[in-house]
Amino acid sequence: MIQIKGENAIAAMRIAGRITGEALYLGGQAVKDGVSTKHIDDIIRHHIEKCGAVPSFLGYGGFPGSACISINDEVIHGIPSKDRIIKDGDIVSIDVGARYRGYHGDSACTFACGSVSDEAKRLMEATERSFYLGAAKAVAGNRLGDIGAAVQEYAESLGYGVVRQYVGHGVGRELHEDPEVPNFGRAGHGIRLYKNMTIAIEPMITQGSYEVRVGRDGWLVTTVDGKLSCHYEHTVLVTEGEPELLTKV
């Protein structure tokens, strides 16, 4: 069931979103050659808990980290590890959630470590741009397909793949609520958007095939062809005008 949020819920989500965005920023600042993904996860967890919130991902479905940290061809759900060392030239996708007063924020971004290839830079820029084109459609009266179509048309026009197996989602008291928010679709189709819906729009864009596979740990998702992947996400409040990005800081 889709939840339309009241003013108290939105106020709590704004705080949860701010904490999430700050934690993501700090994690991104820590992306450096020689740093472990566990070190970044520790920074993120410390900030969330310092702010009086709880890491949304920690223990979620048994996930052992406070953030998902995925490198290069890893699409999502990378488990932080002291043995996973970031190197110059890597691109690092960090996905963070924080729960505050019963409500979640959810945000992700892909960060460059040092000097990355021009191809990686273009993919990162395109993924972020595809998010903003999709988010611009998160207006009351539009339909879910308008969001997905905007993401898909832009990414595919550049020759990139749009992951189908994983999609965005509603956010609120639960980290994942109805509706699913695909990054592909047909404009004018899907459920109608209403004021005060809160959704996570999160394009996962690949350099090659959009097909992915899940690793032996049951979490890590990688591209099937070993090509790069980028992830960009904000929690978005649907309004009658310009959508509000609750996790943007």
Report yes or no on 212 lying in a domain.
Answer: yes
With both helix axes pointing from N to C terminus, report the angle between 118-135 and 144-157 in degrees, rounded to the nearest 10. 160
Report yes or no on 147 lying in a domain.
Answer: yes
Q: Which two tokens stand for residue 40?
A: 């970044």
In this prediction, residue 7 has a pLDDT band, given cuts at 50, 70 and 90, of very high
Report yes or no on 120 lying in a domain.
Answer: yes
Distance of CA 3 to the CA centre of its chain: 20
Report yes or no on 1 lying in a domain.
Answer: no
The CATH number of whichever domain residue 206 belongs to comes to 3.90.230.10
- Over residues 45-104, the pLDDT tens digits come to 999 999 999 999 999 999 999 999 999 999 999 999 999 999 999 999 999 999 999 999
Report yes or no on 2 lying in a domain.
Answer: no
Q: Which residues pair with 231 in a beta bridge?
A: 204
pLDDT at 89: 98
The mean pLDDT value of the chain amounts to 98
Instruction: Report the C-alpha gap between 33 and 88 in whole angstroms.
Output: 5
C-alpha distances (whole Å) from 2 to each of 5, 75, 96, 192 are 10, 27, 22, 11
Instruction: Report the C-alpha gap between 224 and 209 in whole angstroms.
Output: 7
Report yes or no on 51 lying in a domain.
Answer: yes
Average pLDDT over residues 116-123: 98
Percentage of residues of the chain with pLDDT beyond 70: 100
What is the total count of domains within the chain?
1
Structural domain that includes position 191: 7-245
pLDDT at 158: 98
Report yes or no on 138 lying in a domain.
Answer: yes
pLDDT at 186: 98
pLDDT at 97: 98
pLDDT at 243: 98
Report yes or no on 110 lying in a domain.
Answer: yes
Query: Contact, 152 vs 183, CB < 8 A?
Result: yes
